[in-house]
């Protein structure tokens, strides 16, 4: 399916540009080089994030936090992913990816998701064909319910002069709930069709286990096991350092919350608390937990970071290919033609034509959708219904094709089975959920 869509994007862009004239052909050619350069720059920017957060996850794993999470979520994860052992690294990465998405920390979620896919590839018995666990994980990942406000979108709204940048929080929560529900249901329904059965032996897709094998002799577990027994005095010192650090951190949070409470009121203080302290709290929790379990934190960070470099190199061709196709399709004018074609139908359900570019671009390109949203807010105003709906659409789903490209690339998957359709079902439900939510909250 992804092969067919990619071919339609590229061939459609070239045909439309050829029929439109030399100017459009030149625009398509320019888009090829510019988007290819942007894709590589995007990967370079992603490397640092991946190295840091995979290192952080390695600390949690070396400290045994993976087992703790697995025990907490065993009833749910066993039902959703019955084929994954509860103590397998894939389960821990899946849980941390889901938690990051739910908390709105998309940058932190991506490295965990890539790690999850690489570990799922080691459990996959069908070379090059996505396993059921991979398909379900991607369906959930590309449509994750976001409990916290979409901070990035809210920041753009605030910069555009909105009187209430946070107004889209509840519509976005409703839209992401619809999106996730639809994606999971589509996974189960489509998985019953014979057309989406496994096709083993896809050429050129196998990922050797050693490509993703964590060297257990590195840092982490091995170093921890070689440590001498801790004396009572050192144990007391360790606990004292932990308690002092935790007390100072909590004190800092309290001071910040108190200051915001006086200036912004209770709701504003809670919003600021969630916005500014969620990620630091995660970092402190993981580092203190690793310290408590006597993990060599620096060595574990380096060991986990090495995996980030390997994954980044692997996803470059997948990302370049999909982003170039999207840029060509937009530059040729084909996207505008589709919007004009669909507008008479969507206007009947209360969807202004001005936001249709968001609906098309959002599953294809996050940066492109952000640019479209910014343009809409500038032209129509951030507090207009069009501006509110565009902002809600921005946070209603993920960049589906980007997610599929890099995650399947990390796992060496050629046949995604029904993953794309399940994710697109989530995108469609998120779109209608955003429209319904905005009409309910904003009239």
Residues 6+ apart with CB under 8 A from 72: none
Tally the C-alpha atoms within 13 A of residue 393's C-alpha that lie toward its C-beta: 32
Structure confidence at residue 75 (pLDDT): 74
Q: Which residues pair with 182 in a beta bridge?
A: none
Structure confidence at residue 283 (pLDDT): 79
Mean of the pLDDT values across residues 393-416?
83
Structure confidence at residue 67 (pLDDT): 57
Confidence of residue 433 (pLDDT cuts 50, 70, 90): very high
Least confident of 131-145, 214-228, 252-266, 383-397: 214-228
Structure confidence at residue 57 (pLDDT): 72
Mean of the pLDDT values across residues 247-251?
81
List pLDDT tens digits, range 321-378. 877 887 888 788 887 787 778 777 877 777 887 788 788 778 877 766 776 787 788 8
Residues 6+ apart with CB under 8 A from 163: 383
State the chain's mean pLDDT as an integer: 77
Which range has the top average pLDDT, 111-120, 178-187, 256-265, 266-275? 178-187
List pLDDT tens digits, range 292-337. 887 888 888 888 777 667 766 766 777 788 778 878 887 888 877 8
Structure confidence at residue 181 (pLDDT): 93
Structure confidence at residue 189 (pLDDT): 93
Write down the domain spans for the chain. Answer: 2-50+127-220+307-442
More confident residue, 224 or 427: 427
CA distances from 420 to 59, 81, 190, 384, 405 (A): 33, 19, 11, 33, 10
Residue-by-residue DSSP string for 294-320 = T--HHHHHHHHHHHHHHHHHHHHHHHH
**Are 48 and 301 in contact, with CB atoms under 8 Å apart?**
no
Structure confidence at residue 179 (pLDDT): 92
Structure confidence at residue 145 (pLDDT): 75
């Amino acid at each position: 399916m992804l092969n067919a869509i990619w071919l339609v994007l590229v061939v459609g862009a070239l045909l439309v540009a050829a029929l439109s004239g030399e100017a459009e052909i030149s625009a398509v050619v320019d888009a090829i080089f510019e988007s290819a350069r942007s894709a590589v720059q995007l990967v370079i920017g992603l490397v640092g994030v991946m190295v840091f957060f995979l290192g952080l996850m390695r600390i949690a794993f070396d400290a045994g936090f993976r087992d703790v999470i697995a025990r907490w979520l065993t009833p749910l994860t066993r039902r959703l992913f019955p084929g994954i052992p509860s103590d397998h690294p894939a389960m821990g990465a899946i849980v941390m990816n889901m938690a990051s998405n739910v908390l709105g920390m998309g940058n932190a979620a991506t490295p965990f998701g890539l790690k999850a896919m690489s570990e799922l590839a080691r459990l996959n018995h069908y070379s090059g064909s996505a396993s059921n666990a991979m398909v379900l994980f991607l369906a959930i990942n590309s449509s994750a319910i976001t409990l916290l406000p979409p901070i990035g979108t809210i920041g753009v709204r605030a910069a555009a002069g909105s009187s209430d940048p946070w107004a889209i929080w509840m519509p976005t929560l409703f839209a992401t709930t619809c999106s996730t529900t639809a994606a999971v249901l589509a996974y189960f329904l489509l998985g019953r069709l014979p057309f989406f059965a496994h096709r083993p032996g896809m050429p050129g897709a196998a990922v050797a286990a050693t490509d993703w094998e964590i060297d257990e002799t590195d840092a982490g577990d091995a170093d921890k096991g070689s440590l001498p027994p801790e004396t009572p005095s050192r144990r007391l010192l360790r606990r004292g350092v932990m308690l002092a650090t935790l007390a100072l951190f909590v004190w800092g949070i309290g001071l910040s919350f108190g200051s915001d409470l006086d200036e912004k009121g209770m709701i504003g203080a809670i919003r600021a608390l969630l916005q500014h302290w969620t990620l630091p709290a995660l970092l402190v929790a993981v580092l203190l937990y690793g310290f408590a379990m006597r993990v060599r934190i620096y060595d574990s960070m380096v060991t986990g970071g090495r995996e980030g470099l390997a994954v980044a190199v692997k996803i470059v061709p997948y990302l370049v290919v999909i982003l170039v196709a999207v840029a060509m399709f937009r530059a040729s004018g084909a996207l505008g033609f589709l919007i004009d074609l669909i507008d008479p139908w969507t206007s009947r359900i209360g969807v202004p034509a001005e936001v249709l570019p968001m609906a098309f671009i959002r599953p294809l390109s996050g940066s492109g959708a952000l640019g479209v949203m910014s343009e809409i807010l500038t032209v129509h105003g951030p507090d207009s219904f069009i501006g509110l709906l565009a902002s809600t659409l921005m946070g209603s789903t993920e960049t589906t094709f980007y997610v599929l490209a890099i995650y399947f690339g990390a796992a060496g998957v050629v046949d995604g089975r029904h993953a794309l359709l399940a994710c697109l079902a989530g995108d469609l439900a998120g779109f209608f959920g955003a429209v319904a939510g905005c009409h309910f909250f904003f009239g």
